[in-house]
Structure 1
Amino acid sequence: MFDTDKIRKDFPILSREVNGKPLVYFDNAATSQTPKQVIDVIVDYYSNFNANIHRGVHTLSQEATDKYEAARHTIQKHFNAKHAHEIIYTAGTTNSINLVANGFASLLEKGDEIIVSALEHHSNIVPWQMLCEKTGAVLKVIPMNQNGELLMEEYDKLLNENTKLVFVNHISNALGTINPIKEIIDKAHKHGAAVLIDGAQSCPHIKPDVQALDVDFYVASAHKMCGPTGVGMLYGKEEWLNKLPPYQGGGEMIAEVSFEKTTYAGLPHKFEAGTPNICGGIAFGAAIDYMNTIGFETIANYEHELLEYATKKLLEIEGLKIYGTAKNKTSVVSFNLEGIHPYDVGTILDKMGIAVRTGHHCAQPIMDYFKIPGTIRASFAFYNTKQEIDALVEGVKKAQRMLS
């Protein structure tokens, strides 16, 4: 049996109150909560191992280095990367995407084509628009349908000999749609194009195997998977990472420096200039270990149960519409109440201790497609309960009465 009560005890924040009410936290797609097992690792680092890594001969530096690199191996194993040096520590998904986009600025030419999907977060749109401005490449978009699913037959039409790059999220942050990324990757490769998958929303629910996917780049953030903010990772195939130039210059990413010429370090250090978020990297590994003790299949099954329960209960409310009804989706419900602005609903829910996200969720093209200003988004994690969903439903009904 999935023991939610036991798991919830791992998360100190879930025992607090907000506005005099028990906290109901349904903003997991933005940031998941952190268990004490990870918090303890953070405290332990600053209490016992705080030192700069790689360059020190003293004991603290060596111990911190060992922990940091051990976490890299944990991440490698989790994502099944072939080599540990294919895992690049970054500040998060957005930083990872910008690193790749910056690198391709020297590889693309005018007339080259790159493809994104209509379901992307702004962080997987804007960097590519900036890349097109620099290089003269052309940005094309895979359209979506009313269910929030990509039109794969249109993707087939977009692919051609000029396609160099394809960028798609694994799961939509705004709608919860799980995209057919294996099919997307395989079709792109037939045309010689590289593929980057934004895994920010998938990694809390799914255990991606980058070798089985044969993906060229995969990016993720620790704070979506029970870890700290400000740290994430870029997986890249070794051959691609060797082709890309460094993103930033500074300490750590060099082999030799003179005023005449600088040579760069090998992977992964070529892309890790400066002092990194050492504690964050170590805690990222601890968060992955924690989630694996629960098991991703167990997590996915339970969260699907929550999704079905919430969908059924919310649709019983007259005037409520759910956006994102893909057959294959994860535990995200985006909805609106007829004639009521989502921000107003979110404000009333907050007064009841219920945390949801309102707005366009950094996915404004999706909202434009549906001709709405935004949605109310409830996103569930494995530590949420059906009782909390009941509280959400009652809160939405109350907001509807107050605002109608």
Structure 2
Amino acid sequence: MNIPAFTLSRQIQEIGPAVEEAMHEVVNSGQFILGPQVQAFEERIAQMTGTGYAVGVANGSDALYLALRAAGVGPGDEVITTPFTFFATAGSILRTGAKPVFTDINLDTFNMDPDQASARISPRTRAMLPVHLFGLMADIDALRQHYAGVIIEDAAQAIGATLRNKPAGSVGDLAAFSFFPTKNLGAFGDAGMVTTTNDQWATMLRSLRVHGSRQKYHHEWLGINSRLDAVQAAVLNVKLNYLAHWTTRRQQIAERYRQGFVERRVSDIHLPSVPQGFSHVFHQYTIRAEARDRLSAYLKDRGIGTTVYYPLSLHLQPALRDLGYRLGDFPRSEQAQDEVLSLPMFPELTDQEVDYVVQQIAAFYQGG
């Protein structure tokens, strides 16, 4: 078999005609920036998350940055976040002039450990930025027990996930989504969204995405150019109709992985954890594996694609050396970076392909 870690080709075969029709309508309309397609998508995401306000922006990184700006984060402030995530999480904090303060993760969930985060709170803490990694929400309710300030969800990988029946994007004060093509809900390019229940923040976000302007050529704040274009919104409006089905299929694939590993008694890997009260949307199916790099090479030789998210935690990134962190500061994140391996995961993956992946991993650990 030849099984990629991820592919869009099968999905495009299914929905291509509907997407092409929606894109053609935008071309004929001549409305390419913001406009009715963007407004419709914003309204649907606001309804889906139950937040009341959703503001489309150019990408997920800008969504994080603008959410921080709307919350008033700026120079001299500190924002608590995790080092085991994509670079944009910390990069967006630094773009505001604030300082990322890292705290370690829970190895079972890969998400921020609330007890460790509480120890990082200082008088300069302006916000917490927990990441819903791989499709599982961080425990915002537990964080609230320690911290009464602004919490911004990095929900880039978790659209459709829930925490005690509350959807991602609704549990924090603001939330940032990414619709990068590989996401569970992906555009045909870059796209992002910020959700909030706060009407003043929503108004400011709409201004910040157009250079801080509410009235043309009058600028109240120093904003940026970060508008969601209509073609991407049209694509997303079509794909949103399929999201619930795709999410269910991802969950079915994850369960088939789990059952397969249990039945074959593969004890050398740690499977994804789904705590009680949480739903996982499996943006990635990420295991922790002994001899991770040898396993990855073994699977590649047998036609199975895998990916490592993330091989170097943020506190060890050269670009962030000035923050002063060192190897050993966050041992769980460092352990995760050395052990994580994301297996093939996309809704069009077949049961036979899942079984083959399980079979080959079992063979690796069981000597054939």
- State TM-score, norm by structure 2: 0.73
Q: Which runs of 5+ in 2 are unaligned?
A: 316-330
Name the SS of the counterpart of 2:270 in structure 1: strand
- Per-residue CA deviation, residues 344-390 of structure 1 (Å, 9 max, x unaligned), is 345324xx2x3321362675568862175463311534443442222
- Counterpart of 1:227 (choices 176, 183, 186) is 186
Q: Distance in 2 between matches of 1:359 and 1:283?
A: 27
* Equivalent position SS for 1:355: coil
Task: State the Cα distance separating 1:166 from its structure 2 match.
Answer: 0.5
Change (3 A) 1:117 1:311: farther
Q: Is the 8 A contact 1:117 1:143 kept in 2?
A: yes
Q: Secondary structure at the match of 2:79?
A: strand
Q: In the alignment, what sits opposite 1:108?
A: 74
| Counterpart in the other structure of 1:24 | 3
Give 2:201's match in structure 1, choosing from 219, 240, 258: 240
Query: Once the two structures are superposed, what CA deviation does each residue of 1:233-268 show, in whole Å capped at 9, x if it has no partner?
Result: 111332234456954656x955232xxxx2469xxx
Q: What is the total number of aligned residue pairs between the two structures?
A: 341
**2:269 matched residue in structure 1:** 321
TM-score by length of 1: 0.67
Taking a change above 3 Å as real, the CA distance of residues 76 and 36 of structure 1, as seen in their structure-2 partners, is farther
Change (3 A) 1:203 1:379: farther
Deviation for aligned residue 1:150: 4.0
Counterparts of 1:162 and 1:275 in 2: how far apart (Å)? 31
d(CA) in 1 for partners of 2:186, 2:223 = 22
User: Per-residue deviation at 1:90?
Assistant: 2.0
Match of 2:324 in 1: none
The farther-off stretch of 90-99 and 354-363 is 354-363
- Would the aligned equivalents of 1:342 and 1:358 in 2 still touch at CA under 8 Å? no
Q: Does 2:322 match 1:369?
A: no
Q: CA deviation at 1:79?
A: 1.6
The percentage of counterpart residues that share the same residue type is 10
The residue correspondences of 1:188-267 to structure 2 (distance < 5 A) are 188=147, 190=148, 193-203=149-159, 205-206=161-162, 209=167, 213=171, 215-222=172-179, 223=181, 224-228=183-187, 229-236=189-196, 237-242=198-203, 247=208, 253-257=213-217, 262-263=218-219
AA partner of residue 197 (structure 1): E
Q: What residue is the counterpart of 1:152 in the other structure? A: 114
Letter in 2 for 1:72: E
CA RMSD of aligned residues (A): 4.2
1:124 aligns to 2:86 (yes or no): no
Give per-residue Cα distances to partners, 1:14-72, cap 9 Å, x unaligned. Answer: xxxxxxx4x534438xx896355643333113434305xxxxxxx6549x943332222
Query: In the alignment, is the contact (CA less than 8 A) between 1:88 and 1:234 conserved in 2?
Result: yes
Match of 2:320 in 1: none
Query: In 2, are the aligned partners of 1:93 and 1:221 still within 8 Å (CA)?
Result: yes
Moved more, 371-380 or 203-212: 203-212
Q: 1:142 deviation in Å?
A: 2.9
Question: Whose Rg is larger?
Answer: 1
Distance (whole Å) between structure 1 residues aligned to residue 292 and residue 252 of structure 2: 33
- Correspondence for 1:288 among 218, 232, 240: 240
Q: Which amino acid aligns with 1:88?
A: V
Q: Is the 8 A contact 2:65 2:92 kept in 1?
A: yes
2:42 corresponds to 1:72: yes
Name the CA shift for 1:394/1:43 in 2 (closer, same or farther; >3 Å).
same
1:216·1:240 contact (CA, 8 Å) conserved in 2? no
Q: What SS class does the counterpart of residue 50 from structure 1 fall into?
A: helix
Following the alignment from structure 1 to structure 2, what is the Cα–Cα distance between the partners of residues 216 and 87? 12
Pair 205,287 (structure 1): closer, same or farther in 2 beyond 3 Å = farther
Shift of 1:154: 2.5
- Determine if contact 1:38/1:227 at 8 Å carries over to the other structure: no
SS at match of 2:62: helix
- Counterpart secondary structure, 1:34: helix
Map of 1:45 onto structure 2: 22
Greater shift after overlay, 219-228 or 282-291?
219-228
The answer to whether the 8 Å contact 2:136/2:274 transfers is: yes
Say yes or no: does 1:305 pair with 2:255: yes
- Offset of residue 93 of structure 1: 1.9
Does the 8 Å CA contact 1:71/1:284 hold for their aligned counterparts? Answer: yes
> Does structure 2 retain, via aligned residues, the 8 Å contact 1:307–1:380?
no
CA gap 1:183/1:394 in 2 versus in 1, 3 angstroms: same
The offset of 1:279, in angstroms, is: 1.4
Counterpart in 2 of 1:98? 65
Amino acid at match of 1:141: F
Match of 1:355 in 2: 305
Q: Distance in 2 between matches of 1:208 and 1:27?
A: 28
> 3-state DSSP class of the match of 2:11?
coil
Q: Distance in 2 between matches of 1:161 and 1:96?
A: 26
C-alpha distance in structure 1 between counterparts of 2:309 and 2:205, whole Å: 36
Seen in structure 2, the aligned counterparts of structure 1 residues 156 and 216 have a Cα distance that, compared at 3 Å, is: same
Answer yes or no: is the 8 Å Cα contact 1:348–1:399 preserved in 2: no
Query: Alpha-carbon deviations, 1:89-143, whole Å to 9, x = none?
Result: 1233222113334556x65353x33211344332212322454xx35x5x33332
Match of 1:34 in 2: 11
